[in-house]
Structure 1
Amino acid sequence: MLFEPDLSTPYLREAARLRDAFAVDAVAHDQAGGRPLDQLRLLKDSGLLRLTLPRAFGGEGQPWSTALRVGREFAKADGSLGHLFGYHCSSQHAAHVRGSPRQAEALYRASAEGNWFWANNANSAARSLLGKWQGDHWLLNGSKPFTSGSHIADRVHITWIDEDSGRTLDATIPADRAGWRALDDWDAFGQRQTGSGACRYENVRVEAEEVFERTGPADAAYRTLTPFIQQSVLLNVFLGTAQGALLAARDYTVNESRPWVHSGVERHVDDPWVKRVYGDLYTRTLAATALADQALEVLDRVWEKGDALTAAERGEASITLAAANAFAGNTALDVTSKIFEVTGARSTARGLGLDRFWRNVRTHTLHNPEEYKTRNVGYWFLTGEPPVPSGIQ
């Protein structure tokens, strides 16, 4: 099958099985939105939620490249699930990047044992959540926007502002903590099951031991890799969505599309225009896949370096990732839009759900502007200076 993963790898074989299961009712789930509880149950049963946890602590010990290829497979059927799985993996490692080895080990073990699904409630750009130290614990009040996965999470990575000092703190809390709730108010036209709306905090207690103990300099290169992971999640959601849309459109064209009245051919697939459009979209998707796979290799390499990672190595890696991300996003937007030119008016039927691919990519790319990625790459090409690490890079 075109764009099929390496099925000799058991984790990708399981991802392909789940992808096919998700595809059965992906259109209905997209139209309904809300909480993907059926899909979450399948994910938990698969064991893939432990994929990147270290083997020593009960996980599978797989690299980021494997996890992100799993998310890519899910996105072929449902971009929301690729997004949620990737952000789950990212949040699992929050203590490893931002806390102490002791905290990371404890959370790894607990996550593996509990088969936790994690969510990201740590949008550092939002200063709408404040905390007050109460002598032996923190008390949090306010809200946080763009909290993907919080509506179905077992555990949540959070950040807040100390209202006395103004500094940002990190912690993890269980999703059933008193006073914390996901509003489940996400109403965008795409990524409709991600729960990426707001969360409310009303006198939420955070214990001292739940707060991350930062070790070493906060600006060390390795401590700035969280945006790399998040951008890699988006990159592979873009790519998986493009691949899934192209395959779905091909099947419709082969089996359902009628030739244009002025085409002079009896079969739609024999129309030179149709051939050229599919050839172009397939070629560009292949190129995006190659760039994405290169970026995965780079991510694995910088992650494995740990505290030994240098700023120069991080800067070089950021260019590879930015280029792949920008190209995949633009490719996915073109693929998910142009397929309609060669599938025909009947392919816009709501029941087919081909529009979900474009809606998901368009929604996601607006949170991840290609313009700034491309400028970073261009400036590096001209000057040799990589972009400065930031929470949204």
Structure 2
Amino acid sequence: MSRQVLSDELLERIHSRAPGYDRDNAFFAEDLEELQAAGYLRALVPTEFGGLGLSLREVAREQQRLAAAAPATALGINMHLVWTGVAKAMHDRGLDFLDFVLEEAGAGEVFGFAISEAGNDLVLFGSRTTAEPDQDGGYRFTGTKVFTSLSPAWTRLSVFGLDTVSEDAPKLIHAFIRRDEPGFRILDDWDTVGMRATQSNTTVLEGAHAPAERVFRRLPPGPNPDPLVFGIFANFELLLAAVYTGIGARALELGVEAAHRRTSMKNDGKPYSSDPDIRWRIADAAIAQDALAPQIDSIARDIDELVDHGGQWFPRLVGVKVRATETARVVVDAAIRVSGGSSYTASSELGRLYRDVLAGMFHPSDDESAHNTVANAWLGPIA
């Protein structure tokens, strides 16, 4: 039986705050406080490190529930959950280089994710940020990171950049910096169409220092089979898919409610739920939505159980992410068409979901990259 951390009462409170955060372009501070108090940020941390010991499969289910209540809150929390999930995946596979993440998350630290850079479509396989080695095994990072979720709240931030001067250069350097140390600025520049409560502001690294004990991977640029790459892809793609699946589930609920609530003067006052075209539209959305949760569940179970899919892992992961984000857009669109013009108002929940769901196309892996990954897996590289 799947364990739950998020009570219905907590989710209702979070749901009630979502419109205000969106309207005010404000961080989900109260949500974060309650989620921390419930232990949710320790959900993926094994019990021996002070966590709740949930599986990725269980947390993916919880993220769907949280996203149905407040998509931006779920997406922001995702970034912390990704790092605890990566650390758990490494620990489960006998690798201890991220055990300090589990220890610190178990003690209450909040982890942020600073990977994305403007114009960098290589994502994990290249960086425009400079990683300058010191004399003691540490690095100073200089560059600009965009879409840094949890900007107001993280206490530990993952950064990576390119070392071009060491003897074995070039190397991509992965490390964590601390909020209570200098070398970075957080801009107040998050004014987006949707997912506003994440407050994923730009982070400017100005020689931010990570000592040797915070540098956890040095990898060659380009695709490689390092376990860290798998861990990041697995947790990032799957938990993103969970968030957008939750958005679709909520949109479908709202569409059904609207179909029962709205009546047709052309049809003697009968509810729209009796209209064949409306029934087809809701059914079509439900058929698309129903495929997602079982696929997420299956892939998460395989990650938890250390199943080896070899070269098919990355196609599976990018596939479920793209399918979830694209399906969520289709389902939200269908619900809006069923609900009518009232969803076009700024205060409408469906209108907010319509804006929030657009963010799905910008997360890695994007549609083009995902199709390239799947094509290479099935057809081989271009001759």
Which SS does the other structure have where 1:147 is aligned? coil
Match of 1:86 among 78, 93, 115: 78
Say whether 1:181 aligns with 2:181: no
> Which of 178, 185, 199 matches 1:195?
199
**Distance of aligned partners of 1:149 and 1:272 in 2 relative to their CA distance in 1, 3 Å threshold:** same
Q: Distance in 2 between matches of 1:94 and 1:325?
A: 17
Alignment partners' CA distance in 2, 1:139 and 1:349 = 47
Whether 1:361 aligns to 2:365 is no
AA aligned opposite 2:244: F
CA contact (8 A) 1:188 1:363 kept: no
Query: TM-score when scaled to structure 1?
Result: 0.82
Give CA deviations for 1:338-386 in whole Å, capped at 9, x if unaligned: 21221121232222231121211212223343344345445645x4x59
Cα deviation digits, residues 90-129 of structure 1 (max 9, x gap): 223556678995543333222212x122110134467342
Contact conserved, 1:52 with 1:62, CA < 8 A, in 2? yes
For 2:243, give the aligned amino acid: V
**2:323 matched to 1:327?**
yes
- CA distance 1:93–1:10, shift in 2 (3 Å): closer
CA distance in structure 2 between the aligned counterparts of 1:159 and 1:97, rounded to whole angstroms? 20
Q: Indicate which of 216, 232, 244 corresponds to 2:250.
A: 244
Question: Which of residues 106, 109, 112 is equivalent to 1:116?
Answer: 109
Provide the TM-score with structure 2 as the length reference: 0.84
| 2:343 is the counterpart of 1:337 | no
Q: CA deviation at 1:334?
A: 0.9
Counterpart of 1:235? 241
Letter of the aligned partner of 1:169 in structure 2? I
Q: Which of 101, 105, 125 is the matching residue for 1:107?
A: 101
Aligned length: 364
| Structure 2: distance between partners of 1:205 and 1:375 | 36
2:121 — aligned with what?
Answer: none
2:228 corresponds to = 223
**How many Å separate the matches in 1 of 2:23 and 2:311?**
41
The runs of 5 or more residues in structure 1 that have no matched partner are 1-7, 388-393
Equivalent residue, structure 2, for 1:370:
367
**Deviation string for 1:36-84 (max 9, x for gaps)?**
1111101100101111112221112222111121111111122222222
2-structure distance, mates of 1:93, 1:296: 11
Mapping 1:1-393, distance limit 5 Å: 9-12=2-5, 14=6, 16-93=8-85, 101=95, 103-113=97-107, 115-123=108-116, 124=124, 127-136=127-136, 137-164=138-165, 165-212=169-216, 219-220=224-225, 222-225=227-230, 226-255=232-261, 257-259=262-264, 261-301=265-305, 304=306, 309=308, 313-367=309-363, 368-374=365-371, 376-377=373-374, 380-381=377-378, 383=379, 385=380
Runs of 4+ deviating beyond 6 Å? 96-100
Which structure 2 segments of 5+ residues have no match? 117-123
Give % identity: 21
Q: SS where residue 196 of structure 2 aligns?
A: coil
The question of whether the paired residues in 1 share the 8 Å contact of 2:86 and 2:228 is answered with no
